[in-house]
Each structure stands twice: as C-alpha cells, then as structure tokens.
Amino acid sequence: MTVQGLNERVQAQVLTAALPYIQKYSGKTVVVKYGGNAMVSAGLKHDVMSDIILLTMVGIKVVLVHGGGPEISEMLGRLGVKTRFVGGLRYTDETTAEVVQMVLAGKTNKDLVSLIGTLGGRALGLCGIDGGMIQAKPKSAELGLVGEITSVDPRPIVNALQSGYIPVVATVGTDAQGNTYNINADTAAAAIAVALGAENLITLTDIRGLMQDLNDPDSLIREVKVGRIAQLIQSGVVAGGMIPKVQSCEQAVRGGVGKAVMIDGRIPHSILIEIFSDEGIGTLFTKEEA
C-alpha cells in the first residue's frame, strides 16, 4: 500500500470511529466554558473555534461561554486599578464592574464572534444582560459587585441556536435595578447548561484536569463523585481558582446536565478528543449511585 493509500485508510478509520458519537450528540446541546491559556494562545484559540464549528456542522448545538480574566487584568493595569482575589474570585468595585462589562461584552466577545466568522462559522455575541438572561444579586459583601446568579432565562440562547448561530456568551449579569455584576464564567456556564438541559458541560483549564497533587503530572483524578467535592476542598486538593470550576461541575451534574468534564485546553483539539471517544480526557464529574 502506498503512503497516500495508508493515509486515506487512516482518515477513513478516524471518520468511521467518530460516527457513533456524532449520532449520540446530534441535536443535543453542549456548553463549552472557554478560558485560560486556550484564550491567550492564537493557535489554541484557532483550534477551539474550529472544533466548535465542526461540532455545529455535524448537528451538535454548541454554546460557548467565555471569561476573559487576563484581558480584564491587563485593562485594569492600564487604568492603574489594583486587582485582588478572594477565594479565587476577583473583587469587583464599580470601576472594575465597568471594565469587566467593557472588556467581556465588548472586545473579547466580539473578537471571538469575528474569529468564528473568519473560520466559516456563524456566531452571535450575547451577554447576560441581553434580554435579562442572567439575573444576579451580590454574592457577598467582601466581593463587592461579584454576582450570585438568581435565575437564567435561556430564550436568547435558544433563539440563536434555532436561527443557526453559535451563541457566544459573555458572563456579566444584572438585577432588577439595573446594577451590573461580574459573574464567574465557570459558575455561569454551569447555570446556562442546566437551564438549557445540556447533554455535556466541558470546562477548559490550564491543567490536565483535577489533580491529586499539582506537582505530580501523573496524579490526574479521572472521575469524581460530586459527593466527594466538599471533602476535596476541605483537604486542600481543590483550592483557589479551582474551587469555582469544580463547584460549577457539581452544580451542572446535580442540576441534570448529562455529563460534566474538566479538560486541558492546552491540548490541540481537546474538545474533539473529549466528545469523540469513550475514554475522553481530563476529569469526569458524576452523580453518586442511587
């Protein structure tokens, strides 16, 4: 067999192997929480958007929920505003809330919509303020205008999906008085996944998944029952910015989402690897057995 013939055979095998997963997910909704290094690296950003377009083209309804921590920090630095974190969440005063809305709902959101368009997809940029999609209240006095989600109205997202668009959602919210809140993107992605009755919530991270020991690359925890999460936080295995990520996966699973996974967004095409294989990659969060 020639090299060309071998390559064609391998390509055919790959496509054939993907078919059962395409059939499983066709018509289903997958929420992707996008952040970390995959947002910073141009190459990884290209891979993630290409993956999302491909999934959409085979009939999977993909909703992209994004943060933008590095870009927010950069803009705050330009303005001379100091950033501090409390329990893995950014303290947000009125100035910070204005910057968060400007960066997330403006620059970051529209840059992603534009990139999807240049790669052949059709995206629609949304934020939690649009249509009152994400309603929130103050999470705690020590966090300022960091919001705790009180409700999600998924209709703007559903309308976008039904019109053939990939919804790209920036995670700011509002309340009845018109106050703007900075919403943690992991938390928002979980709430949106629950509201949509999603099949899968995929959270992209800068590590392989949930690690027993961050200094040991082979200590990946492949599956976690959500009942163990409180103990993992108490023991320090889950700490800092990992806390809202893990708690969001728990929220999604307890809220009826079919599957919640945390995967390494630094791996090219990690979303496709997760969707189109039994083993997947990263950490799977599951319910306790009845």
pLDDT at residue 4 in the model: 45
pLDDT at residue 276 in the model: 86
pLDDT at residue 216 in the model: 81
pLDDT at residue 129 in the model: 95
pLDDT at residue 6 in the model: 41
pLDDT at residue 208 in the model: 83
pLDDT at residue 43 in the model: 87
Q: What is the pTM assigned to this prediction?
A: 0.90
pLDDT at residue 239 in the model: 81
- Joined together, the tokens standing for residue 96 give 């910070």
Task: Report the chain (290 residues): mean pLDDT per 10 consecutive residues.
Answer: 47 70 90 83 90 94 92 88 81 88 92 96 96 93 90 97 97 92 94 97 88 81 88 85 88 94 90 83 79
Domain 29-213+232-286: CATH architecture, name and number where available: 3-Layer(aba) Sandwich (3.40)
- Joined together, the tokens standing for residue 288 give 């306790």
Domain borders along the chain are 29-213+232-286
pLDDT at residue 220 in the model: 87
